[in-house]
Structure 1
Amino acid sequence: MNDRSVGVEIDATATWLEERGMRGAASLLRRVALQRDEAVRQLGLRPGAPTYRTEGSEHAAPRDLGAAAEAAMLRTDVARLQSLAERAGWVADPAAKRLWRWRDGWWELGHRRRNPKDGYHDTGWYLWGPVGSYDGEWVHRHKGQAMDEAEQLITKHRTATRGDGR
């Protein structure tokens, strides 16, 4: 954990990754966020950082072109990282019978045994997604078919919420 804040959402995602044994991914996420924040600070885009001269002149203060290039490069790197995570598909968790997937948020496909007391009315694979999507919906009894069905459900959810199926 760093002594500098990277934001609530990034820290929550990094903590989530660490809890699942993905310490390298969590560290990378925090490092990229800190680099992004530093580039933004250097550009003077944060509240409290002067972007205009105050001594009677309203001309913009000279910006550091190196910081601007770094910020643009970081945006590109983050977009690439997201694209690679989406292309990775379903990744097995170190815990038994659980798969993870990144597509505009984390998705979990987990195998559960029938237990109506816990809400699992059938043995098979259940899908959980980001807030506002799926919350433990039964997908299929067999893993391969469950993965295919989950992909269709995720695409359907993304289409309904964003209007596209990227």
Structure 2
Amino acid sequence: MNDRSVGVEIDATATWLEERGIRGAASLLRRVARQRDEAVHQLGLQSGSPAYRTDGAEPSAPRDLSAAAEAAMLRTDVARFQALVERAGWLPDQDAKRLWRWRDGWWELSHRRRNPKDGYHDTGWYLWGPAGSYDGEWVDPHKGPAMDEAERLITKHRTAICGDGR
């Protein structure tokens, strides 16, 4: 299901959840995102700039304070959901040698056997991240140290990109 009405990042996360059999969380995420979008629409706000019109006119005033409160509450709910997923840490996949982690995007840590033809020069754990981050970098031969090193690399990447390592 490709639902662009809720946004690319939310749709990608919901699709990822559905692929792993977590359909309830996916539908909850989409429902909250749609409710957020409906509240923003009720306020008459333009997409891309939640508080201002994009045609150069003065900022639009909220027409309905209850809709503004609902939009704020739904933004908070989506942020809480993402924070909970981030705090969950490394989540195992159906594949016993693959782990997933959310930190402003999905990160994958998976075990590969040595095969120079495929680009795996050592047997061990490799890290993949969102675009512009790591793309199959060898981390460690053992799972525990690989998870620790992956956390360090993710924090390093986030510090370089965002200025914070949270």
TM-score, normalisation: structure 2: 0.85
Does structure 1 residue 130 correspond to structure 2 residue 119?
no
Query: How much is the aligned-residue C-alpha RMSD, in angstroms?
Result: 2.2
- How far 1:13 sits from its partner (Å)? 2.8
The equivalences for 1:106-145 within 5 A come to 106-145=106-145
Alpha-carbon deviations, 1:99-120, whole Å to 9, x = none? 0000111100001111111111
| Bigger Rg over Cα | 1
1:65 is matched with which residue? Answer: 65
Distance verdict in 2 for CA 1:144–1:43, change over 3 Å: same
Does structure 1 residue 26 correspond to structure 2 residue 26?
yes
Distance verdict in 2 for CA 1:61–1:80, change over 3 Å: closer
Distance verdict in 2 for CA 1:2–1:65, change over 3 Å: farther
| Structure 2 gap segments, 5+ residues each | 53-57
TM-score, normalisation: structure 1: 0.85
1:9 is matched with which residue? Answer: 9
- How far 1:121 sits from its partner (Å)? 0.8
Question: Conserved in 2, the CA contact under 8 Å of 1:98 and 1:111?
Answer: yes
Distance 2:62 2:22 in 1: 41
Distance 1:2 1:116 in 2: 36
Number of residue pairs the alignment of both structures matches: 156
The range that moved more, 17-26 or 107-116, is 17-26
| Structure 1 gap segments, 5+ residues each | 52-57
Which secondary structure does the structure 1 equivalent of 2:96 belong to? coil
Q: Letter of the aligned partner of 2:77 in structure 1?
A: D
